[in-house]
Amino acid sequence: MGKKEEQLAELLGTLGDFTSKENWDKFFTIRGTDDAFEWYAEWSELRNPLLSHLPPQPQILVPGCGSSRLSEHLYDAGFNSITNIDFSKVAISDCLRRNVRHRPDMRWRVMDMTAMQFEDEAFDVVVDKGGLDALMEPELGPKLGTQYLSEVRRVLKSGGKFICLTLAESHVLALLFSKFRFGWKMGIHAIPQKPSSKPSLLAFMVVAEKQVSSVLQEITSSFNDSSLALKGSQACGLLEAVEKENQIRRDYSTGSDVLYSLEELQLGARGDLTKLCPGHRFQLTLGGDSRFSYRAVVLDAQESSGPFAYHCGVFIVPKTRAHEWLFSSEEGQWMVVESSKAARLVMVLLDASHVSASMDDIQKDLSPLVKQLAPGKDDNGAQIPFMMASDGIKQRNIVHQVTSTITGPVIVEDVIYENVDGDISRILPSRDLTFRRLVFQRSEGLVQSEALLSEEGSNNKVGETERKKTNSSSKSKRRGIQRRSGETSHQLKVYHGYLASSYHTGILSGLMLISSYLESMASNQKSVKAVVIGLGAGLLPMFLNRCMPLMHTEVVELDPVVRKLAKEYFNFVEDDRLQVHIADGIQFVRNVANSAAADEISAVQEKEGAHCNTEPPSSNGSCLESHVEGKVPSKVDIVIIDVDSADSSSGMTCPAADFVQETFLQTVKDALSEKGLFIINLVSRSQAIKDSVISRMKVSLE
């Protein structure tokens, strides 16, 4: 080996950083002016596969040309519009001197391939021979490769081709596939090799063609796992990478709710991000280089929702409310869009990773990210407003926490709201009102029970309910107020003369449907039997027990921990007219219905016996012709379902889906008396789900 060859071998062995301009200048200086250096494959091997992908008279760019003769061979094959760039001044100078006379139309420029100085869509073809591989040193990461491929995408015309000659290492393919996923047609071809006794790495030609459409297409290849030339770990790795990428593309094509990255969207995953597309919705992850990562949903409002106050808005959903139907379902999200008055709404759902950050920090972190999602290339300085789903709480104090094997984590907390209902604030105007809440964490954002705390607490005499009508909002703290009297203490206790939860008002209103029946029972000094499924904090049963002396209430609660919390933290008390059963609610109602059916049979039998013992048989032998008083069936007058759902997939926060199935509804019908009342606390943001449940109830209970 000569001295020059020894120097080259030493240089290649110690080059290390293939991204260093100084190293390459030294390399090309040692090689000399006329000594071309070819990576991967010779022209004889490249000629046919490469020329088959070139259109007539293309504008060709060869980035990172080095001292290769590839562009010279292309020129001699009839492709004269070729521009070569390299950041090594030595390489460009040598190639220019070598070609200035014989190939006068060839252009040579000293330029960094990761920051090209060309106009957008300037070339028909970009031919890369080892350039991307050199930038993708594993120790350096994908930064330079990413910058380079972004430039390639920018300078290629629509319909243009990026032809990349590569060893197809896994980290290189991963970047290539992701950058040319949306709006590109991609194929991979093996470069034929000359027969050799020495094993060597195969070179591959990746061809990515720029498409007008952003529709995903699977990668094609001109080889398969049975090809004789494809042997060893290099071939296996390539085939696995192609199949993995094609599976990703298939998933994207068929998935209804794919989670995109911001980069994929900017690459055309959902079309032109700068243009509004009314009715379109997609999910994405934001972050990476920012302080936090975020899950977000982008929704372009329907034109009918206009006029719009903002071209783009951001709606932040705190972790405590992210699981609510309004923010987690598509139907609910569109409702938020309509109320936001934004043509494009970016809904950002916070999670546990954001708990320690202030809202100011989150907004500062999000600002540069959401600007990239705003429609229009130039927003003319239009501000992007930040909105937030607040919980409306001014102060919160955790009183008790416990985990139940049935209900899961449960919290008892005292809160002071920013605003409360005008009714109660006028009655207790002197201070901030404190409410005690029972929260099941399995249903985030759902307050299971809520009670007003007062100095008098439960030591009040029950008086006439507050009848004053107001125009206060239905969203505020609610009614059921009783005038208070009696001694006061400085310790705050649960006040059972006021129902703070708005849904309790609806349940009480339902009693008006049988008001005549209730008055009749009261005038005859008869008791009304009620079954309440779901104890919670026991606030509704306590209120009914105190307000309606004629009512005998059986409460069914599945979880003994809940009963313990109701007694210890919400002053729930049982008496001879109010009892709690630890049992399954559905089975309890079924037992009532079965008992009622058995009583009816017994009553009929007694009736038959009395009739047959006092009257001769009728002509047809029936003993049912005359009426005789029999045993009154043990049916109930009121059934109230007030339970939450542990499974949010049903679309209902309350009740659990089993409580609105036809079989249970029929059981309720069998358990109710003739004038009976059935009340369900139905909570769902979906009108379709509510309509379906109501329709089912009408059919089953009519």
Q: Please name the fold of domain 502-602+630-701.
A: Rossmann fold (3.40.50)
Question: Would you say residue 488 has pLDDT above 90?
Answer: no
In this prediction, residue 475 has a pLDDT band, given cuts at 50, 70 and 90, of: very low
b/e 196-220 (16+ beta carbons within 10 angstroms → b): eeeeeebbbbbbbbbeeeeebbbbe
Q: What is the pLDDT of residue 701?
A: 82
Q: What is the pLDDT of residue 405?
A: 94
Q: Contact 108/142 with Cβ under 8 angstroms?
A: no
CA 544 vs. chain centroid, Å, equals: 41
- Among 26-30, 97-101, 531-535, 665-669, which stretch is predicted with the lowest mean pLDDT? 26-30
Q: Which residues is 463 bridged to in the sheet?
A: none
**Given a cut of 50, is residue 623 above it in pLDDT?**
no
Return the pLDDT at 5. Answer: 47
Per-domain residue ranges of the chain: 7-193+201-255, 260-388, 393-454, 502-602+630-701
Is it the case that residue 577 has pLDDT exceeding 60?
A: yes
Query: In this prediction, what percent of the chain has a pLDDT beyond 70?
Result: 78
Please tell me whether the overall predicted TM-score, pTM, comes out greater than 0.75 for this model: no
**CA nearest to 424, candidates 390, 473, 458, 463:** 473
Short-list 492, 491, 504, 483, CA closest to 426: 483
**β-strand partners of 686:** none
Quickly list H helices, 407-514.
Answer: 422-427, 502-510
63-99 burial: b if 16+ Cβ within 10 Å, else e: bbbbbbbbbbbbbeeebebbbbbbbbebbbebbeebb
Q: What mean pLDDT is predicted for residues 652-658?
A: 88
Instruction: Write out the H or E segment, with its range, that includes residue 590.
Output: helix 585-614
3-class state of residue 277 by DSSP? coil
pLDDT above 90: residue 666:
yes
Return the percentage of the chain with pLDDT > 90, whole number: 44
pLDDT at residue 477 above 50?
Answer: no
Which CATH fold topology does 260-388 show? Rossmann fold (3.40.50)
Evaluate if residue 367 carries a pLDDT over 50.
yes
The answer to whether the 7-193+201-255 and 260-388 domains have the same CATH topology is yes
**What does the pLDDT average to over 189-207?**
76
Domain 7-193+201-255, second-level architecture: 3-Layer(aba) Sandwich (3.40)
Segment among 132-136, 590-594, 595-599 with least mean pLDDT: 595-599
Segment 402-415 mean pLDDT: 92
Token duo for residue 368:
């540069």
In this predicted structure, the answer to whether residue 24 has a pLDDT above a threshold of 80 is no
Of 679, 657, 652, nearest in space to 668 by CA:
679
Backbone φ and ψ of 477, nearest 5°: -65, 145
Looking at residue 642, its pLDDT comes to: 93
Confidence of residue 208 (pLDDT cuts 50, 70, 90): very high
Residue 631 pLDDT > 80: no
- Cβ neighbors of 567 (< 8 A, separation 6 or more) are 538, 573
- The tokens for 190 are 């093996």
Q: What is the DSSP letter of 464?
A: P
